[in-house]
Amino acid sequence: MAVCTGDQGQQSLRRGSAIVPAVLQPVAVGHKTLSDYTHICGRGLIEEIRELARPLKGRRVVHVSATAFGGGVSEILYTLVPLICDVGLECEWQVIYGREEFFNATKLMHNALQGAPQDLDEDQWRTWHRYNEMNARELSGGWDVCLVHDPQPAALHALVPEKAHSWLWRCHIDLSSPNIATIERLAPFLSGYPEAIFHMAQYVPPYMRANVNIVAPAIDPLTPKNMALSPEDAAFVCSQFGIDVDRPLLCQVSRFDPWKDPLGVIDAYRIVKESVPEAQLALVGSMASDDPEGWDYFNATIAHADGDPDIHILNNFNNVGAIEVNAFQVHADVVIQKSTREGFGLTVAEAIWKGKPFIGGAVGGIPLQIQDGVTGFLVGSAEQCAERALELLADPSLGRALGRAGKEHVRSHFLMPRYLRDYLRIFGRMLGV
């Protein structure tokens, strides 16, 4: 069995004398060591994790998701999976197969579950189910726990419940006010899971009959995106993208998605620029394989910028990776996440872990991370966002105070070892150890 470091190339299965391609692809995640986090999180938490893991040693766990890059789910799994391995379990992460027709349908589903009015048509629902059937056939069996992430592969449990002893559905999106037609169509698949995890209690639909666990996500402080980066190194990186570190910089890091409201961020920046003409804006995002709509919104964002040379719209196709995001956040005078809907918003924790003053939409999981006026500011409009940004630009000491308080809040609540501990507690209860 491949654990933790499976070949990302396509596997194959033998059926009789024929070799056919396997659908699910294991993701190579490398190695991480829990003890490396001791100086950040404290010895007590690390020892608690090892105690929880001891009776689970050798148990087989598989995570199933839609993509291996381009969003918070994949960023979490690149750390969580190797840490689960490090404490003695056998853990693998597999990505489902899907073509454009499938991801077009699931992006529509994702938006509808967060409240968009358009539901999938019958052909799109059939496409979703057909790809789930295909992936269910190719999912290997014998797992102690199978964790299915988000709605894209949500039918797996209903189709092949025998392939794992215990099943867990992990929801990463805001289901507090979904499109009724969409959630009712999806409900039979979700309610069959014996266990589920949500970011917040407000996201749990009333029909969920499973044991519901509330576990907020977390960031890895040791990844290139979040590790300590010197101002000099960060300045060098920023200069490669035309950003002047001697001028005020506003920055939002997120997918190009209507719920992240990059157009509203541009509107707020324009208000700021009326009073601070030297201000710059960086909108930075990663384009994901399961988000075909992302390119449309990326282009809409460029159009809304209208050629302003001080608006830098960047993504991973511009060679923007983890180090670059780190550098932009290190040199930002204000970091923004002006979402209008948000499952949790790992970019919030990432920004304030760097001690930066933060402004975010008062939606979803953002208020869980931000105490308004203490660890950052919460806003409800472009005008409010601009007002708070101007306040922070005029009073750098206020920004430093918010940043310090925010970083300690992240240290206590939103770092990866705490997340690992919560999962081990759930595994132990599910498996009776």
Residue type at 73? V
**pLDDT of residue 17 exceeding 70:** no
Give the model confidence (pLDDT) of 98-139 as tens digits. 999 999 999 999 999 989 999 999 999 999 999 999 999 999
Residue 5: which pLDDT band, with cuts at 50, 70 and 90? Answer: very low
Would you state the pLDDT for residue 289? 58
Please check whether residue 313 is in contact with residue 334, taking contact to mean a CB–CB distance below 8 angstroms.
no
Burial class of residue 302 in the structure, from the number of CB atoms within 10 Å of its CB (0-12 exposed, 13-18 middle, 19+ buried): middle
3-class DSSP assignment, residue 48: helix
Structure-block tokens of residue 390: 């101007």
Helices 322-331, 346-353: inter-axial angle, 10-degree rounding: 60
Task: Tell me how far apart the alpha carbons of residues 86 and 50 are, in angstroms, rounded to a whole number.
Answer: 10
For residues 334 and 399, the answer to whether their CB atoms sit within 8 Å is yes
Q: Is 397 helix (H, G, I), strand (E, B) or coil?
A: helix
Q: What is the pLDDT of residues 140-177, one digit of tens each?
A: 999 999 999 999 999 999 999 999 999 999 999 889 99
> Of 187, 7, 195, which Cα lies nearest the Cα of 92?
7
Output the DSSP codes for 49-69.
HHHHHGGGTT-EEEEEES-SS
What is the Cα Rg of the chain in Å? 22
- C-alpha distances out from residue 201 to 198, 204, 213, 253, 418, Å: 7, 6, 9, 26, 18
Cα dihedral 74, 80, 84, 85 sign: positive
Confidence tier at 272 by pLDDT (50, 70, 90): very high
Amino acid present at 162: E
Amino acid at residue number 107:
K
Check pLDDT > 50 for residue 19: no
Q: Is the pLDDT of residue 20 over 50?
A: no
Structural domains of the chain in order of their starting residue, each with its CATH number: 12-218+415-431 (3.40.50.2000), 231-413 (3.40.50.2000)
Label residue 220 exposed, middle or buried (CB < 10 Å: 0-12, 13-18, 19+).
Answer: buried
d(CA 249, CA 33) in angstroms, rounded, equals 35
Percent pLDDT > 90 in the chain is 82
Integer Cα distance of 161 and 73 in angstroms: 23
